[in-house]
Chains A and B, each alone.
Chain A
Amino acid sequence: MTPSRRQTLQWVMAAAALPLARWTSPALAAGPGTPAPFEVVAWPPTLPPPPPAQGYGRDPNLMEPKVTWPLTLSTAQRATVDMLGDMILPADGKSPGAGALGVGGFVDEWISAPYPVQRRDRELLLGGLIWLDAQSRALHQAEFTAITASHRAALLDALTVETPDARLAKPVAFMDGLRYLFVLGYYSLEEGKADMGYIGDQPTPGEYPGPTPEALAHYAGVLRELGLPTD
């Protein structure tokens, strides 16, 4: 399946208006961009092949959902992912951090899955974790989890510029993939839904109540702002 076909299918599903949008990664910005703030280490050339794993098949028992493949991150990799989770989606007054919520386990589940999209993400994410440690060692003589918080933040800043230069293209793609996996994993949990104020998943017998007065008042403002008829 080509990426464009996959994307089309995801749009088809988005049109079905499932409450949770399907995950799609944006097109990477190309061309010359923000200069890298450090000497960029090489992207790891090859990764060990994934261990054999089975998908859940075309007719799994939907009443008892099960992940049928083993998780494959090492303890150290998982610790790095959890630390990154708490940086990418940190704890604040509204909700806990993604690492503390265990969303790293979802990232592990995703990259360990024996499906084409997930296998591609495995290449990107495992490669990125190796690169991140190598870059940390090159700059600060220690792995990512062992360097200072401000050094870690500087690395993430370098990987979240809008227009990365060519040497950072792969590391930035890694960080994009990881960020969106954390968004998907986090905001589909109860805590994440609460964080974004999601109200739903509540059987509501009778007529669908529709927007609240507050929502309608805001909508009236939208019409005025856009110069659309308000009748």
Chain B
Amino acid sequence: MTLDTFDPATTTVDVIIVGSGAAGGMAAFSLTQAGLRCLILEAGRDYDPQSEVNMMAPESAAPLRGAATPDKPFGYFDATVGGGWEVDGEPYTMREGSDFRWYRPRMLGGRTNHWGRHAPRWGPYDFKPFSRDGLGVDWPIGYDDVAPFYDRVERMIGVNGGRLELENHPDSPANCLMPPPKPRVPEMLLKATCESMGIPVRAAHTAVLTRDMPHDVAPRSACFNATPCTRGCTIGAFFQTTTSFLPIAKATGRLTVVTDAMVSKVVMAGKDRAAGVEYVDRKTGARHKVEARAVVLAAGTLETTRLLLNSGESPAGLANASGELGRNLTDSTGASFRAFVPALADRPRYNEDGIGGQHVYIPFWLYGEQKRGELDFARGYHFEIGGRFGIPPAATLPRVWGAGLKKAVRAASGATIGMTLRGEMIPNKDTFCEIDQGVKDRFGIPVLRFSFRWSQHELNQVAHGQRIAHAVFKRMNATILSPELPPEKLITAGGEIIHELGTARMGADPRSSVVDSYGQAWDVKNLFLMDGAIFASGAHKNPTLTILALALRASERLAARLKSGALA
């Protein structure tokens, strides 16, 4: 539905959902199944993967061969629409000395249209980090509370993968996962090398179908082992809400979707009760109010928190009696290592496309050493793996011209292996977001200001990762292409891994948390947060599967409460 045909004044719904990505899509799916009438307000434009994703065009059809530019930071064909590290007319600011980047798509389905699709389960340690090392806080729930929802989400969205059989890396029960694809030669070499050094390599858990998923409304096909996933997927092989949850929810007749609707604040009906939200029509600038029995914020961690900070009567924002709103911001750590492996030069060609991203990865394996105090950092990291035929990186080519250059390109194609570190960041008091009262976006909404700092834990962690990656490369007799760097230079900027979490954390105590374990705001009983804002810690594992599991758990609780009248 477009704004032209939507009349906010006469619309009556049970639940307003702000955002249509992983959390908002799951909320709409679950709540409409439960018989509730929902309205999604999406800040970005309407988006149809079937007609807008150019899956098959070669990179040579794109300007600059598809190279990254400030307009399209992940390449021309990347599915991100209308945004990126910058969104026109929607700035953010930083405190002096901070380096933070905020990635925002402006499209129906949000980041699920172009996410990385690595979907590991979090384990028991990840929900109880304080109990393990005395840092940060424990979640009010543990792995056993989330596990049944992981089971269901893996089956709902379609995840492929194999068994892990490792400490703090829970395996899925039978019938949850589709079979993983065979590894490619560089991945096999990495596995053989790592395992000879005591480092495990396992099939990755990836939200890409390796079997068809029939459905009356939104049938999805198994991956056909070609085309880059970040472009989006017209056959529905990888999970994005625009080809799964949203069409299914719409088919119930109980979902209205309004795009180009930038929500500016939560409107109150009393001190502890939300009446609805106010939003700005991005095309006309007109302001509207819409009401409902409950409000779900799933706008993305930082947009959700910004909304609360800009709502309510208090300068501290809405639902912020604890003072935790905006605090506890984390992103994953990131560092990348790459090497040229002479043993793989000029190897026999075959089709190495597979399911797009990595087929295997390195889960964190040093929990025992860490427990014994043998590591100089808390928490874990994992390596994501890259390496396949293609144009070799410039650094693998000798400074030659003519026949020798052609020969070098042929030899070096497929002879580079990359290890990309993703690790846990522990919340620290210097890393948070707040409202910058001096700067407003083009809708007149005050913007976020970020403060960001890595602690010594994160710096030591990436330094450790560098030593490991370089040791693995040396074991392969490889030439390391990534320069050896001090950790301050090695580590990515805050926000750059696009795993921002934790600015409205859940807890068991209203004095130290913003929401309960179901995302219900302690201070506003019909207001629910369902995205990464509610995470009590970041883990090193990519967060989307956990966002989906928690949103399913919260949505079912919300539906039960609305039906029982508990929120009346």
Contact = CB atoms under 8 A, between A and B. Distances in A.
Contacts of B34: none
A212 B410 contact: no
A214 B390 contact: no
A223 B392 contact: no
A160 interface: yes
A217 B477 CA distance: 20
A55 B86 CA distance: 15
A154 to B, nearest CB: 12
Interface in B309-362: 334, 336, 338, 343-344, 347-359
A207 B181 contact: yes
B110 interface: no
B561 interface: no
A215 B405 contact: no
B166 interface: no
Interface stretch (A72-80, A106-114, A125-133): A106-114
Contact of B348 (A60, A88, A214): A214
Contact of A58 (B72, B224, B350, B476): B72
B391 A208 contact: no
Interface residues of B, number: 109
A228 B343 CA distance: 12
Contacts of B210: 207-208
A92 interface: yes
A107 to B, nearest CB: 11
B535 to A, nearest CB: 22
Given A58-B83, A109-B63, A209-B351, A18 B52 contact: no
- Secondary structure at the B interface, as helix, strand, loop or mixed, is loop
Contacts of A45: none
Interface string B31-67: 0000000000000010000011110111111111111
A66 to B, nearest CB: 7
Nearest to A198: B389
A195 B409 CA distance: 9
B54 A65 contact: yes
A39 B3 CA distance: 70
B140 interface: no
A14 B353 contact: no
A199 B392 CA distance: 15
Contacts of B413: 196-198
B355 A183 contact: no
Contact of A63 (B52, B64, B192, B399): B52
B384 interface: yes
B338 A110 contact: no
A125 B189 CA distance: 39
A210 B230 contact: no
Contact of A203 (B225, B387, B402, B410): B225
A58 B67 contact: no
A86 B410 CA distance: 17
Contacts, number: 296
Contacts of B81: 58-59
A211 to B, nearest CB: 5
A88 B350 contact: no
B394 A62 contact: no
B66 A20 contact: yes
A6 to B, nearest CB: 8
A107 B357 CA distance: 29
B205 to A, nearest CB: 16
Nearest to B223: A208
Nearest to B422: A15
B391 A212 contact: no
B306 to A, nearest CB: 20
Contacts of B399: 160-162, 172, 176, 179
Contact of A92 (B82, B356, B393, B406): B406
A87 B400 CA distance: 11
Nearest to B478: A226
A218 B482 CA distance: 27
A204 B348 contact: no
B185, B192, B393, most chain A CB atoms within 10 A:
B393
A153 to B, nearest CB: 8
A40 interface: no
A12 B496 contact: yes
A4 interface: yes
A52 interface: no
B71 interface: yes
A195 B410 contact: yes
B206 to A, nearest CB: 11
B389 A14 contact: no
Interface string A1-42: 100110011111111111111111111000000000000000
A157 B369 CA distance: 54
Contacts of B71: 55-58, 60, 115
Contact of B53 (A17, A62, A195, A217): A62
Contacts of B401: 87-88, 156, 160, 175, 179
Contact of B388 (A17, A116, A160): A17
B77 interface: yes
The 9 A-B residue pairs with the shortest CB-CB distance, nearest first, are A210-B182, A11-B336, A15-B420, A208-B181, A203-B224, A214-B348, A197-B349, A204-B225, A17-B386
Interface of A: 1, 4-5, 8-27, 55-60, 62-63, 65-68, 87-90, 92, 94-95, 106, 109-110, 113, 115-118, 156, 160-162, 172, 175-176, 179-180, 183-185, 187-190, 195-212, 214-219, 222-223, 225-226, 228-229
Given A13-B68, A17-B388, A208-B353, 10 more contacts: A8-B496, A12-B496, A20-B66, A115-B64, A156-B401, A176-B399, A184-B391, A198-B413, A204-B225, A219-B189
21 contacts: A5-B493, A10-B68, A16-B116, A16-B386, A56-B69, A59-B81, A62-B76, A109-B64, A116-B70, A117-B69, A176-B394, A180-B394, A184-B65, A184-B391, A185-B65, A198-B389, A201-B56, A203-B224, A205-B225, A222-B344, A228-B193
